[in-house]
Structure formats: C-alpha cells, structure tokens
C-alpha cells in the first residue's frame, strides 16, 4: 500500500508498463523495480485476507460514483459483475495472486480490469490505495471484533456453567500465594467471567471508534470529484465519517487500540492458564484436565502436561509484542501516509488469530475440568484460613478490631506451636486470650461457616454465588450464547510439541 497511485479519471488508461508491478504507476519511472525490492516491499503474502473487505468497499465506492454521475450505469454493472467473479475465484481458490502486483488492492483491480475491461480501470476514480487500505482494514477488523465477542461469550458461558456446579465447593483463597481465607470455587471462577466482560466491553468500545469511514480521503487531501461519503458509509454500515483526510489515511489508532484490548484479554487468559497449571500439579491436586487438552512426555511415562494452558501463557507475550510493535510503528511518522504502515497488518492479523485460537481452546477445555472438592477443602483448612472470622467474631462482641487482631494472632501462634487447627484449641484457652469468646465460636471457625457468613453482593457465600450464576445465565441467554461444543474424546498425544 503506497502513496504513489493518484486517483484515476474516467476513461484514463494505464501507461505502458516497464514491469508488471509498475502498471499502476510506471509512467514516472525509467527502470523496473529491483527484484529484491519487489519482494521486500510487497504485502500480498499476508494482506490477501483483506480481499473480501476490499471488494465490499469497491462495490460501495462504485455504486456511489454512479449515483453522483461519475460512473455510467453500464460501467457500474460491469464492475459489479466483475467483482462478483473475482470474489468467486478467491473463494474457490482459483484466483492467481501475483507478487508483481504488490498488494491485494492491485491484484483485485488487475483481475477486475481483465474481466470488465475499461470499466475496471475506472473503479479507482476518486480514491487512493491510502484511503482504500484504511477502509479495508477497518472493515475486516470490525468483523473480527464481532466474532471475538462471540468467542468471549462462549468462554463466559463455560465458566458460568462450571461455577454453577461448584457454588458451594470450598477452596482456599490466596493472597501472596499464601492461604488467606476460604472461598468457594464458583466464586473464584466468576472472577474470570467479570474480567472477560470488561474485555468484551473494551472490544465494543474499540469497535465504536473504529467504525468511521476513511474512504473519500483519497491520498491525503481529498478528491476533486463530487463524491458522497455518507452514501458509502451507509452502504458499508459505518456509523460516522473520518473528518480529516490526512488523519484518515494515516490513523492506526484503531489497530493499536485493538491490540491493547487483545493484550489485556491475553493477560486475563494467562492468569487463568497459570492457575490451571498450578491446580493440576500434584502439590495442589485440585483439578484434572481432559486428556485431549494435555500431552505426555517423551521420557517420563507418568506425565500429563498442561500444554494448552502453558502455551496460552506464552502466546500472551507475542500479543504484547504486537502492541509494542504498532506503537513503535507510528511514533515517529510525519503526516500523512507512509510506507511504514504496511507493517500494521501482520501484528493485527496474528493478534486476531491468537485470540481466536486461545479463546476456543479455553471454551472447549473448561467444560471438561474435573474438580477434586475434597482436596480443595483440605487445602482450605491449612494456613488458619478462618483467623479473620475469629477476629470478626470478637469485634461483634465489642472488641476493637486491632485488639481482636492481636488476640487472634496469639491464638494462631499457639495453634502453630501445637500443630493443630484453631478449631482444635480448647474453649478455655481461647477465653484466656479473649474473654469474650463463647462456645458458639466453633461454628465460626469452620470453612463452611466462613464462606456462608460473607453473604452480600460480591461475596463468596454460596447463596451469592448462585445468584451471580443466575444473573450471568440470564445475561448470556439474552446474547443467545450456546454452550461450547463438546469435543469427541480422542487419544492424548504422547509427544506433541516440545518439552517433557
């Protein structure tokens, strides 16, 4: 996508090419582009995926030109028929992509001209590849954002379903990766549902800012033809127009914003991946993953490795890298379009692919998670996780919180010295530490009592978790989210990928 192609007038024919690549702009040059430079500057190897958006935008542009009288009706029909054939050839896999034509735009336009003749040469009237590519990329990314939102919905649905089955399964909650207070597993899972909802909102916000039409800005200054940009915007379902032609052709904020939102989504998925890896390890033993989402070792026959979760952690880094690459890409560019912007697509495309694959993997893996509730409960009994409940008990009996905190700290120390739980300390010894203690204190010191006591919106009480599950089920039902498809169990690969 370069700045070398000015809008073409009706009836204008291309100059005789010195090289096939130069057919769109060869008249100014006395020798062909070097073969190495041709390969170095071409983008057709990766921007082919913009073809559908390119054809869609060209159809809207041509229809507008006909409406304002720049194109004749016969030319419009020829262009529409020609682009339909081009689309069919691309979908059938018979389209001949030519490196010499540099990018998707010239490839599509050249084939259109072969089919439609002189009419094909007129489709580029009133536009430049600069506003063309900006429009194509926005159209393409808009569609991908919609699909990613659906994938987030599916993962949320899988997490909500699992949370509903474990609304009263007690597990340890951690801070600093130290046992802190008891929670229920469903509450823990719903934390990720909330994170994913914010990710979905960020994609929605990015889509709104993205959905502004650059086409009509031409190379950088607009066009002398009497175009109707609102007509094109309506046809392509853009909500607004880019209001400054120089900004429109050079703006890549929308791509950066998408990658930033994608990086946050990958951060959340990476956190979930890390917990799955930990919970699967024998040191925790909280869960088992489906065999079809684990691999074995080439040397240790007992191993079941959580490769999918580990790769999700690793793939977060490549998405972070794409965000930094795009920020670096634009930081030193003067207005307006520069060839640097050709480098915006591969980071965006790879981010899209990585997000799709990772969301799919998790939405299909989560429904198959098996939970060892007994192991979770045993872990919650460690580390004096009900100590805060004892302090709260004393506060309710009139003890200042700081004094209650100190009394419970002494109780924990005493229990640690004896190698027992707080609930195993005799009532008399607890009273010696805090005279306000009564026999009902032992109800407070159970992990079930601890979680049940946190019965408020946002709390971990099973009743609250059940209410949150119901709320999310209603929300996802309004979005018409279907359950993630159940994969047919298959053999676990023994040596997939690297590592052991």
Beta bridge partners of 288: 370
Q: Which phi-psi region, left, alpha or beta, contains residue 216 (left: φ > 0; alpha: ψ -120 to 50)?
A: left
Beta bridge partners of 213: 241
Q: Name which of 472, 474, 476, 455 is nearest 464 in CA terms.
A: 455
What are residue 25's phi and psi, to 5 degrees? -155, 35
d(CA 307, CA 311): 6
Q: Is 23 a catalytic residue?
A: no
33 and 45 in contact (C-beta within 8 Å)?
no
Q: Name which of 161, 145, 199, 190 is nearest 483 in CA terms.
A: 161
List of E strands, 149-290: 170-175, 178-184, 212-213, 240-241, 287-288
Cβ partners under 8 Å of residue 46, min gap 6: 345, 346, 349
d(CA 473, CA 465): 12
d(CA 277, CA 263): 20
Catalytic residue among 9, 19, 268, 297: 297
What are residue 180's phi and psi, to 5 degrees? -115, -65
d(CA 416, CA 383): 9
Q: Name which of 102, 124, 121 is nearest 20 in CA terms.
A: 102
Cβ partners under 8 Å of residue 108, min gap 6: 51, 54, 55, 58, 83, 86
Catalytic residue among 16, 30, 176, 456: 176
Q: Name which of 132, 129, 111, 113 is nearest 121 in CA terms.
A: 113
Length of the chain: 500
Q: Is 176 a catalytic residue?
A: yes
Residue 120, Cβ density class (10 Å: 0-12 exposed, 13-18 middle, ≥19 buried): buried
Cβ partners under 8 Å of residue 468, min gap 6: 163, 187, 190
- Which residues form the catalytic set? 176, 297
């Amino acid at each position: 996508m370069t700045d070398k192609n000015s809008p073409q007038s009706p009836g204008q024919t291309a100059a005789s090419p010195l090289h096939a690549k130069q057919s769109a702009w060869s008249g100014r040059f006395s020798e062909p582009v070097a073969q190495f430079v041709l390969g170095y500057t071409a983008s057709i190897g990766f921007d082919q995926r913009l073809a559908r958006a390119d054809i869609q935008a060209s159809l809207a542009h041509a229809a507008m030109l006909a409406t304002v009288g720049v194109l004749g009706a016969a030319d419009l029909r020829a262009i529409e028929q020609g682009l339909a054939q081009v689309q069919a050839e691309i979908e059938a896999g018979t389209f001949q992509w030519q490196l010499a034509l540099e990018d998707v735009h010239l490839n599509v336009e050249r084939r259109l001209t072969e089919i439609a003749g002189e009419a094909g040469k007129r489709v580029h009237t009133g536009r430049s590849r600069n506003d063309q590519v900006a429009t194509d990329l926005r159209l393409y990314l808009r569609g991908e954002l919609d699909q990613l939102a659906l994938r987030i919905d599916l993962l949320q649905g899988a997490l909500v379903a699992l949370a509903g089955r474990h609304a009263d399964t007690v597990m340890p909650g951690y801070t600093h990766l130290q046992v802190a207070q008891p929670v229920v597993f469903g509450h823990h899972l719903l934390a990720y549902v909330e994170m994913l909802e914010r990710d979905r909102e960020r994609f929605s916000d990015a889509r709104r800012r993205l959905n502004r039409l650059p086409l009509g800005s031409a190379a950088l200054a607009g066009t002398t033809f009497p175009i109707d940009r609102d007509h094109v915007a309506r046809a392509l379902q853009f909500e607004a127009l880019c209001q400054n032609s120089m900004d429109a052709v050079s703006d890549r904020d929308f791509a950066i914003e998408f990658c930033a939102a994608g990086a946050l989504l990958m951060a959340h998925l990476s956190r979930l991946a890390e917990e799955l890896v930990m919970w699967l390890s024998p040191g925790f033993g909280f869960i088992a993953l489906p065999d079809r989402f684990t691999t074995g070792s080439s040397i240790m026959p007992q191993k079941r490795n959580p490769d999918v979760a580990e790769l999700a952690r690793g793939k977060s880094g490549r998405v972070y890298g794409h965000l930094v690459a795009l920020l670096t890409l634009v930081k030193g560019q003067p207005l307006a379009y520069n060839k640097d912007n050709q480098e915006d697509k591969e980071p965006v495309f790879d981010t899209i692919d990585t997000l799709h694959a990772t969301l799919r993997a998790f939405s299909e893996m989560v429904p198959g998670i098996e939970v060892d509730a007994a192991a979770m409960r045993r872990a919650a009994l460690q580390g004096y996780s009900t100590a805060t409940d004892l302090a709260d008990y004393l506060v309710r009996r009139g003890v200042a919180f700081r004094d209650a905190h100190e009394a419970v700290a002494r109780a924990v120390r005493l229990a640690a010295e004896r190698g027992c739980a707080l609930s195993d300390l005799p009532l008399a010894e607890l009273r010696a530490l805090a005279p306000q203690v009564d026999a009902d204190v032992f109800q407070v010191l159970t992990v079930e009592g601890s979680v049940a006591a946190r019965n408020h919106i946002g709390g971990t009480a099973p009743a609250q978790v059940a209410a949150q599950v119901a709320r999310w089920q209603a929300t996802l039902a309004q979005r018409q989210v279907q359950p993630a498809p159940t994969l047919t169990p298959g053999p676990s690969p023994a040596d997939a990928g690297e590592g052991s």
